[in-house]
Amino acid sequence: MLLQDTIEWPDEVEVLMDQLEGESAERDLTREERALMDIYETVPVLESQDCLHEFWQSGMNHQRIINSFELIGATGLVDPLNASRWCETRTEDRNDYSETEASYLTSIEEELAEGMDELVDLVVAFIEEEME
């Protein structure tokens, strides 16, 4: 699934992510900082052609990432991520899904796309409330 528009992070988010990436080598990030990094690093996977399938086949810490989306209030992403958890046990090739599985995954990804629409606003609000 390719979303119509890829997420473009505001400059304040980009600057903070660069700062946190640099600091992460020197110190442990706080839970809030780690959550922001998780989200920032996961979005390109969710915007990829294989979307949720790629997310579940990746070596990412899936539960921590889901918890990170939940921490900032992105339930529009948490629910589709949890609903697609079955992809984790599937074949590495999305083309091997049955027609029913493929159709179900597509419907979950449509729900995910709706949640992605509000993600930038949620991240910015989280930064303003928790990071400053």
Residue 78: give the domain boundaries: 27-131
Sole residue written with tokens 């528009």: 5
Tell me, yes or no, whether 59 lies in a domain. Answer: yes
Which parts of the chain have pLDDT scores under 70? Answer: 1-5, 132
Question: Which burial class, exposed, middle or buried, applies to 69 when counting CB atoms under 10 A from its CB (0-12, 13-18, 19+)?
Answer: buried
Residue 86 lies in a domain: yes
For residue 7, being part of any structural domain is answered with: no
Residue 119 lies in a domain: yes
Instruction: Count structural domains, the chain.
Output: 1
Q: What is the predicted pLDDT for the residue at 4?
A: 56
pLDDT reported for residue 28: 94
18 falls within a domain: no
Any domain includes 1: no
